[in-house]
Amino acid sequence: MVEALCVPRISPGDIFRLEKEEGTDLGMLAASYTNRGELVPSDVTNRMIEKRLGENDCAKGFILDGYPRNELQADALDVMVDTLEHPINHVFEIWISDKEAVKRISGRRVCACGVSYHLTYKPPKQEGICDKCGQPLVMRDDDKPDAIKRRLEIYHNTTEPLFDRYKSRGIFMRINGEQSIAKVKEDIFFVLKDRRI
């Protein structure tokens, strides 16, 4: 979608991981929550997103990935988009079962250089070693089973209730994420082609 629409993808998780890698106070604060499978407090997340949306590459739009996750964040986003004059045109839930979520997330491995792998779907050429830089791959603390289950509980309790907000605006669409990647992409672009992007 980023390539097709020529807009940036903005993920709070990516922002926090970058801050953590750089050893910033914000990164350490974020890690203290995410390592337990909890969300970073909304006030911190909202400030980071607002700052990011104000950058030049967002002038023509953006794709938010994993935000908003609760009512406080959704309220803050409404204020941000009004200020920046960026309407939220589409909200997609790429739905998968909890069982599939655990399977996908627990198989993820990452490298310090930023490359991600999956033990089943995108394994490295040499087990446990990054193809790009040769460093060892690791499992993020928030990808461990207990943290995943906690994240799913938070998702069901605080994120799913947001869907009604976006349904009432006529911009919510559920996509079956257990299909092939190509079919998920096809379904998303089918919705986008008939609506203003």
**Residue 76 belongs to domain spanning:** 1-86
- Number of compact structural domains in the chain: 1
The answer to whether position 182 is within a domain reads: no
The answer to whether position 53 is within a domain reads: yes
Distance CA 166, CA 168 (A): 5
Token pair listed for 159: 């994120």
The answer to whether position 68 is within a domain reads: yes
Amino acid found at 32: S
Tell me the CATH number at 40.
Answer: 3.40.50.300
The answer to whether position 25 is within a domain reads: yes
The answer to whether position 29 is within a domain reads: yes
Q: Along the 197 residues of the chain, how does pLDDT read in single tens digits? A: 888 889 999 999 888 878 888 888 888 888 888 777 677 899 889 988 998 898 899 988 899 999 999 999 999 999 999 887 778 999 999 999 999 999 899 999 999 888 999 999 899 999 999 999 999 999 988 888 888 888 899 899 999 999 999 999 999 999 999 999 899 999 999 998 865 44
The answer to whether position 54 is within a domain reads: yes
The answer to whether position 31 is within a domain reads: yes
Q: What is the pTM of this model?
A: 0.79
The answer to whether position 33 is within a domain reads: yes
CA 192 to chain centre: 19
